[in-house]
Chains A and B, each alone.
Chain A
Amino acid sequence: GESVGLHLPTLSVQEGDNSIINCAYSNSASDYFIWYKQESGKGPQFIIDIRSNMDKRQGQRVTVLLNKTVKHLSLQIAATQPGDSAVYFCAENIFQGAQKLVFGQGTRLTINP
C-alpha cells in the first residue's frame, strides 16, 4: 500500500542467525511482488520477486513467502551476514491506468556481530 511511515521499523539479529522481515500489502489485485534492499545513500537493489500464482520462491540465502489470504509477504534471510544490514522494502505491482510499483514502509535490518 501507500507508505506513510515517519520512522522505519527495525529488526536486529545476530550474525549467522536467520531473519524474517514482514510486509502487508493493500491491493488484492496485485499480481507481482518484489523485495528490494537499500543501503544508505543508494538506490534500491532487487533481491527476489514472486508472482501471485506462487506462495513461495527461493533464491540464494533468501526465501519469499506470499499469503494472499491475509495479503502478507515475508522475506527470510538465512545465515545473516554484516553485509545484509540495510533497509528492506517490499513492493507490489498494481495497475492504475498503467503498471506501477507501490512500496511498503520498509524495515531496517541491523546485523550484530
Chain B
Amino acid sequence: GAVVSQHPSRVICKSGTSVKIECRSLDFQATTMFWYRQFPKQSLMLMATSNEGSKATYEQGVEKDKFLINHASLTLSTLTVTSAHPEDSSFYICSARVPGSYEQYFGPGTRLTVT
C-alpha cells in the first residue's frame, strides 16, 4: 500500500522559534497533500491543502503567514510553524492523495511541543 512518512516524529522547541515538518510520499507521486492538526482527545482538523507547484489553500481561521507550506516536488511537502507559541503545541499529521482517487494515506504524525 501507499506509504507516507513524516519527519521529525517528535520535536520540542522554544517559544518564538520556527519548526519545519516534512511529509513524503514514499512509493507514489502525490500532486495533493494535506496538513491536519489534532489536539488531545479531538478529531483531525484540516489546516491546508498543499498542491505541487502552486500555493497552498488554507482553511478558514488558519494563518497562512504562520503556517508556511511548500510543496516543491511530487513527493515532498513541508509545513513550517513560524514564531511558535505554546498554543501551537499539537499533533500535526499530513496525508497524500493517490492521484485520480479520493483515497488519502496518512503519515505517522509529528508531536510538536513548544515550551
- Given A3-B43, A5-B43, A99 and B106 contact (CB-CB distance below 8 Å): no
Across-interface contacts of B41 in A (CB, < 8 A): 6-8
Q: Is the CB of B105 within 8 A of A46?
A: yes
Q: Is the CB of B42 within 8 A of A43?
A: no
Q: How many residues of A contact B (CB 8 A)?
A: 27
Contact with B along A1-42 (1 / 0, CB 8 A): 001011110000000000000000000000010101000011
Instruction: Give the residue of B43, B103, B108 whose beta carbon is less than 8 angstroms from that of A106.
Output: B43
Contact with A along B94-105 (1 / 0, CB 8 A): 010100001111
Q: Is the CB of A42 within 8 A of B42?
A: no
CA distance A103 to B34 in the complex (A): 13
Q: Is the CB of B57 within 8 A of A103?
A: no
CA distance A89 to B6 in the complex (A): 21
CA distance A44 to B103 in the complex (A): 12
* Chain A CB within 8 A of B45 CB: yes
CA distance A43 to B45 in the complex (A): 13
- Given A43-B107, A49-B103, A102 and B57 contact (CB-CB distance below 8 Å): no
Q: Is the CB of A41 within 8 A of B109?
A: yes
Q: Is the CB of B104 within 8 A of A101?
A: yes
CA distance A3 to B45 in the complex (A): 7
Residue of B43, B95, B111 with most chain A CB atoms under a 10 A cut-off: B43
Nearest B-chain residue to A44, judged by Cβ? B106
Contact with A along B1-30 (1 / 0, CB 8 A): 100101000000000000000000000000
- Given A3-B43, A6-B42, A105-B43, A98 and B57 contact (CB-CB distance below 8 Å): yes
Across-interface contacts of B49 in A (CB, < 8 A): 98, 100
Q: Is the CB of A46 within 8 A of B42?
A: no
Across-interface contacts of B44 in A (CB, < 8 A): 3, 44, 89, 103
Residue of B4, B34, B91, B106 with most chain A CB atoms under a 10 A cut-off: B106
CA distance A106 to B40 in the complex (A): 12
* Chain A CB within 8 A of B76 CB: no
* Chain A CB within 8 A of B93 CB: yes
Q: Is the CB of A5 within 8 A of B102?
A: no
A96 to chain B, nearest CB (A): 9
